[in-house]
Amino acid sequence: MRPVADGSIVVSLEETRRAMRLLAEKTRVIAEGAGALSVAAALSGKAGKGPIVAVVSGGNVDLDKFYELISTVSL
């Protein structure tokens, strides 16, 4: 059996919140934190150079909590 991935990427809560806000403002997608991790990794530069495919999923987030998370982060 071959490994599916070469490694892991760790992003901060702040990077995740920034990705959630960017997705909401630019694409009108309400993504939960876990669903925005791939975008957070790409935006932070931790995903490497070149073309990147970021899978965004999940809208399973309380809207009041979502607003609380993204309202204090700047893009």
Where exactly are the structural domains of the chain?
13-71
The whole-number pLDDT of residue 52 equals: 86
- pLDDT, tens digit, for every residue of 39-65? 999 999 999 888 888 999 888 899 999
Average pLDDT of every residue of the chain: 91
CA distance 75 to 5: 29
Per-residue pLDDT at 4 = 66
Question: Quick one: pLDDT at residue 18?
Answer: 97
Classify 51 as helix, strand or coil. coil
DSSP H stretches of helix in the chain: 13-22, 37-44, 63-71
Model confidence, pTM: 0.86
Q: Give the residue among 18, 56, 4, 14 at the shortest CA–CA distance from 34.
A: 56
Return the pLDDT at 44.
95
pLDDT at 7: 80
